[in-house]
Amino acid sequence: MSRKIRGAAVALAAALALAACGGGDGDDPLKSGDKGSGTVTIGSADFAESELLAEIYGQAMEAKGVKVERKLKIGAREVYYGQVESGAISVFPEYNGALLAKVDKTDTASTTEAVDAALKKKLPAALEILQASKAEDKDALVVTAETAAKHKLKTIEDLKPVAKDLVVGGPPEFKTRQQGWVGLEKVYGLTFKQFKSLDTGPITLSNLTKGQIQAGNLFTTNPAIAKNKLVALEDPKNVFGAQNVLPLVYKSKVNETARAALNAVSAKLTTQDLIELNGKMETDKADPEDVAKEWLKKSGLA
């Protein structure tokens, strides 16, 4: 299932799990919100990259003397977005394209500039996006180096003569999304042989490397792409759109010192950084807190 946009079933399950926690505030990552004046509460979704980004943001603010409280691994956007909207969470690492799809499913903006401009108009008045980073974690259509060489594939557009012979694999929702199978057909005019529904990225990767599918939907910061010498096809018509990492903040709870620290992170963070940092967590089993600390030190932000 896509890490960034989960279905209603996931959201309901997460919400029920939170409701069932009971006990004190320490048992519920959403209950307490900001505690006391000047505290910034930072949250994360329930996947490693989001937790890493929350640690980077949190530690960057702490380095500037901001008091930070963490509420990590909250769940899917359907669960956490309302907590940011209510002010229970002050700062959240987001992906601009996915966030825009949350607040306006009909908006067709695809470039970083257009997506950010749309968000600034359509977010609730209490919320604000800060500076977008160059780092993106977006959907990609990926093939093996052998398939790319055989069919002379560099871009998605190059698939048109051979798509009818190729099986595409990915999470179930990929088939029904504009930023997926639907957009590939509509924008590029591609008609594939078959779509194979696969539950997770590792399963898609396994099917791809074993030749059970010829193209797969993976995320661009997945270190397995480089490790397995796969080719993420370029998307010149922006079917997948921008997915830049940026801070989503509750305006009244984030002061200028915190804002400056968050924007400084965005000014430094790149997609290649995310690939390398994800690799440390996935391959070396490094803790997100330690990976964040190392990156901040290397970047001169802590």
pTM: 0.76
- Confidence tier at 178 by pLDDT (50, 70, 90): confident
**Where do we find the tokens 């069919």?**
151
* pLDDT value for 38: 84
Among residues 225, 144, 219, 233, the alpha carbon closest in space to that of 188 is found at: 233
- 229 torsion bin: left (phi>0), alpha (psi -120 to 50), beta (else): left
Residues 6 or more apart whose CB falls under 8 angstroms from that of 38 comprise: 66, 67, 255
Read off the pLDDT of residues 84-102 as tens digits, 9 standing for 90 and up: 999 999 999 999 998 998 8
* pLDDT value for 148: 98
Which pairs with CB-CB distance under 8 Å and at least 24 residues apart come from 115-120?
Answer: 115/241, 115/242, 115/244, 116/244, 116/246
How many other C-beta atoms can be found within 10 angstroms of the C-beta atom of residue 252?
10
Q: What is the mean pLDDT of the chain?
A: 88
Read off the pLDDT of residues 62-73 as tens digits, 9 standing for 90 and up: 999 999 999 999
Q: What percent of the chain has pLDDT over 90?
A: 71
Distance separating the N- and C-terminal Cα atoms of the chain: 35
Among residues 60, 64, 82, 70, the alpha carbon closest in space to that of 40 is found at: 70
Could you give all domains of the chain from N- to C-terminal order, each with its CATH number? 37-136+242-298 (3.40.190.10), 139-232 (3.40.190.120)
Distance (Å, rounded) from C-alpha 136 to C-alpha 232?
14
* pLDDT value for 14: 44
Average pLDDT on 8-20 reads 42
Per mean pLDDT, which range of 1-15, 81-95, 254-268 is the poorest? Answer: 1-15
Read off the pLDDT of residues 137-174 as tens digits, 9 standing for 90 and up: 998 999 999 999 999 999 999 999 999 999 999 988 78
Read off the pLDDT of residues 108-130 as tens digits, 9 standing for 90 and up: 898 999 999 999 999 999 999 99
* Three-state helix/strand/coil letters over 214-243: CEEEEECCCCHHHHCCCEECECCCCCCCCC
Distance (Å, rounded) from C-alpha 41 to C-alpha 32?
9
C-alpha of 32 from chain center: 25
